[in-house]
Chains A and B, each alone.
Chain A
Amino acid sequence: MRTDGATAEPTGRGDVLVVDHLVRRFGDLTAVDGVSFRIAAGETYGLLGPNGAGKTTIISMVAGLIAPDEGTVTVAGEQMGRTAVAPKRHIGLVPQDLAVYPELTARENLVLFGRLQGMTGPQLTARVAEVTELIGLTGRAKDPTKEYSGGMKRRLNIGIGLLHRPTLLILDEPTVGVDPQSRNQILESVERLSVEGMAVLYTTHYMEEAERLCDRIGIIDSGVLQAEGTRDELVRLTGAVDHIRLSGTGDTHAAAEALRALPSVSQVDVDRRELRLTVGDAPSAVAQVVTRATDAGMSLADVEITRPDLESVFLHLTGKALRD
């Protein structure tokens, strides 16, 4: 874990993407200021930050759409640039916009971009069918995409990005404006890709998505990578801890005594019929806590876990809320 713009250390698992001290200015505005990070094979890395934080500009440089003013991007060992061809074979870009052709069918969109990626013949045909199935559009594959719902277009947008099995899949806010059902499908798809060994760079301003999908998260604000690490590492930065609240009837004092004896519980406060416990890791401790309290004669009516989240991390690091 780190909390400044220093050079990112190798992940030790074969880095697919190395971003080193990227700087990009637009006139007087420095949109990206010295950002460095690395992504290993099979890792999902999230860039979490509010709108305008610089996420899309970083993505644009990683995908070779714009050139950095300073710094380098290396994909699978090859340096990325606007006119570079070789490193672009390793990436699959899913832009924030619905980058599909409305007059073409889903299948025609997939075939077009597959060909541009160098795929041909039976290999292309088979992969198109496979991806169409993966994104749940088999039944509508021959319909013009202008007739699709927003969620279907989003899924096709992702399907095009992963058609050629890229080493690095870049997803720029892929769930913006998507209904809950499609959103869940998209998130499940990304989880599967990570399992298959694909490196994923995922930008979002939805804290829940970053927590669910990402192995490591970079917190970005005003073009600066404020901190990066696993969710738990980032949470620890805030000094905040997990809490379990138990409420019910019976002998709360006896239950409090019994719970204080647990190694995972660092503090127990009693307030009439309610116990408030401070624990190291609430999800792993909760079963033992409930059993011990019940055994001590407390009849539980409600159990509530409170954990510090990335919202509080962002607030801690930047002094403002994530959705500001």
Chain B
Amino acid sequence: MRPLWTMAISDLRQRARDKSVFIFGIAVPLALMGVLNLVIGNLLSRDLTPVTVAVSVPVGDEAGQSLVGTLRSLGDIDGVGGFDVRVRPVSPSDVRGLVAGDEADLGLTVPDGFGAALLQGAPKDVTVVDGGGGIENDVVISVVTGTVDRYRAATVAATAAGRVGLPASDLAAIGREVATSLPTIALTEGRASDEQLSTTGALVAGQAGLFLLFTVGFGVLGLVNEREQGTLARLRSMPMRPGLIVAAKALVSFILGVVATTVLLTAGSLLFDVDFGSPLAVAVLVLCAVTAGTSITFVIARIARTAEQSNVAQSIVALVLGIAGGAFFPLNAGGVLGTLLDANPVGAFIRGLGITSGGGGVGDIGVPVLVLLVFAVAMVGVSRVVPDRGDAL
């Protein structure tokens, strides 16, 4: 083992002196995290802006007022945060003018006799004028549509009751009941593990996973450089097993990967205010992810003959796995493609961090850890099968 550490320490000293690891393993990813956080983070997590709705409701129409009340309550949707809807009561003739003049984002006209028609089971249309705004307008329109649909259901129920001969006083009660009752079937939204990371958290985790694949490539690059500069021949003439040379490079890859990823996650947490949860569970994930990343270098060492080929191969692998794993934005797919995406080490790393970020411990990250380790074993197996074009191993 002494030659192994002798070579690894010498390699680390050289990497530290040429500063490439600091630049490409830490500084560049941190800078990229900052840029992506500014660009994508704000895009994905921006707050909804207030909406002004010009509303015309006939005086004394309870159903119409109820609709307006629903709009006002959008600013206080429990657990979601909502956004501010400013209701501006106007006359029916002013609705379109205000929207056209950009004084309101939306216009809503409740026709005369809306409430009475509802009670009698007769159809009435509510007119919505869209000012062409963003997602906020779509939300308001969806709420209006949903509310009107419930009123329509009430109308249908009241009409049906009338046809079976119920008294008129009961028809109003039935319509009111249908329009205001709470649903008996609830839809609860769950969250996938990677979605437990905030947008910024996902970016930090994704970039750490992506650049981990670049950082571990320094080991392979070192091997190819040794071949090109002639030191590999000298190393192979030393009294030690040839496999130790490759093992030393893998050890260097592993150490650099662990250090760079730890620095990235720590710096990312501090700079972008992300909490990845249990340090022990995160450490286990980092070790497994670096193991998986390092295993790829064994394959590249077999196929790359020059430093240039090694760089290109490492970059392609890192970018493909990084993008597919969700280093920049989440990807979802089903079937075989979905399985392949699930087997991606970057994806598994992000999912694992999602679990720890949501409060999970070591016992909860079994699946991503298993994915990472199986990937590592598979890559080492592939490296034994791939022909050695560079005479490296």
Q: What is A's interface to B at a CB cutoff of 8 Å?
A: 60, 63-65, 82-83, 85-86, 88-89, 91, 93, 95-104, 108, 112-113, 115-118, 144, 160
A-B contact pairs, 24 of them (CB 8 A): A65-B233, A83-B242, A88-B237, A88-B238, A93-B234, A95-B233, A98-B229, A99-B231, A99-B233, A99-B234, A101-B229, A103-B13, A103-B14, A103-B18, A104-B10, A104-B13, A108-B13, A113-B238, A115-B3, A116-B7, A116-B235, A116-B238, A144-B17, A160-B234
- Once the chains are docked, how many angstroms separate the CA of A91 from the CA of B2? 20
Q: Pick the contact of B231: A83, A91, A96, A101 (CB < 8 A).
A: A101
Q: How many A-B residue pairs have CB under 8 A?
A: 75
Q: Which of B18, B233, B235, B240 has the most CB of A within 10 A?
A: B233
The reply to whether B239 and A100 contact each other, CB–CB distance below 8 Å, is no
A99-B230, A103-B14, A104-B14 known; A93 vs B237 contact (CB < 8 Å): yes
On chain B, the number of residues with a Cβ less than 8 Å from chain A's Cβ atoms is 22
Closest CB-CB distance, A145 to chain B, in whole Å? 11
Contacts of A115 in B (CB 8 A): 2-3, 6
Known A104-B14, A108-B10; contact A117-B239, beta-carbon cutoff 8 A: yes
CB closest chain-A residue, reference B7? A116
Does B236 reach chain A (CB closer than 8 Å)?
A: yes
Residues of A with C-beta under 8 A to B3: 115-116
Judge whether B163 is part of the interface by a CB distance below 8 angstroms.
no
| B191 touches A (CB below 8 Å) | no
A115 → chain B closest CB, angstroms: 5
CB of B238 within 8 A of CB of A97, answer: no
B241 contacts chain A at the CB level, 8 A cutoff: yes
A108 partner residues in chain B, CB cutoff 8 A? 10, 13
Complex alpha-carbon distance, A108 and B12, angstroms: 13
Across the interface, do A63 and B237 meet the contact criterion of CB distance under 8 Å? yes
Residues of B within 8 A of A (CB): 2-3, 6-7, 10, 13-14, 17-18, 229-231, 233-242
Tell which of A64, A85, A96, A101 touches B10, judged by Cβ atoms closer than 8 Å.
A101
> With contacts A64-B236, A88-B237, A103-B13 known, what are 18 further pairs, Cβ within 8 A?
A63-B233, A64-B237, A83-B241, A85-B239, A86-B239, A93-B234, A95-B234, A97-B230, A102-B229, A103-B14, A108-B10, A113-B234, A113-B238, A115-B2, A115-B3, A116-B3, A116-B239, A117-B238
- Let me know if B14 and A118 touch, CB within 8 A: no
One of A100, A103, A116 near B240 (C-beta < 8 A): A116
Known A-B contacts A97-B229, A101-B231; the reply to A65 vs B10 at CB < 8 A is no
Q: Whole-angstrom distance from the CB of B18 to the nearest CB of chain A?
A: 6
The A interface is mostly helix, strand or loop, or mixed, namely loop
* CB-CB under 8 A for A93 and B233, given A82-B242, A116-B240: yes
Q: CA of A96 to CA of B229 in the docked complex: distance in angstroms?
A: 10
For B234, the closest partner residue in chain A by CB is A99
Residues from chain B with Cβ under 8 Å of A83 in the complex: 241-242
Cα–Cα distance between A104 and B222 once the two chains are bound (Å):
14
- Residues of chain B with a CB closer than 8 A to A113's CB: 234, 238
- C-alpha spacing A160/B233, complex, angstroms: 13
CB-CB under 8 A from A64, the residues of chain B are: 236-237
Report the minimal beta-carbon distance from B228 to chain A, rounded to whole angstroms: 9
**Chain A residues in 8 Å Cβ range of B239:** 85-86, 88-89, 116-118
For the complex of A and B, list the 8 residue pairs with the smallest distance between their C-beta atoms, beginning with the closest: A97-B230, A99-B230, A93-B237, A99-B234, A88-B239, A103-B14, A116-B238, A89-B239
Quote the shortest CB–CB distance from A94 to chain B (angstroms). Answer: 8
Complex CA–CA separation, A205 to B14 (angstroms): 35
Complex interface: chain A residues within 8 A of B233 (CB)? 60, 63, 65, 93, 95, 97, 99
Are B10 and A99 in contact (CB-based, < 8 A)?
no
Structural contact, A91 and B14, CB atoms closer than 8 A: no
Given contacts A95-B234, A113-B234, contact A85 B241 (CB under 8 A): yes
Bound-state Cα–Cα, A93 to B230, Å: 11
Bound CA span A116–B2, Å: 8
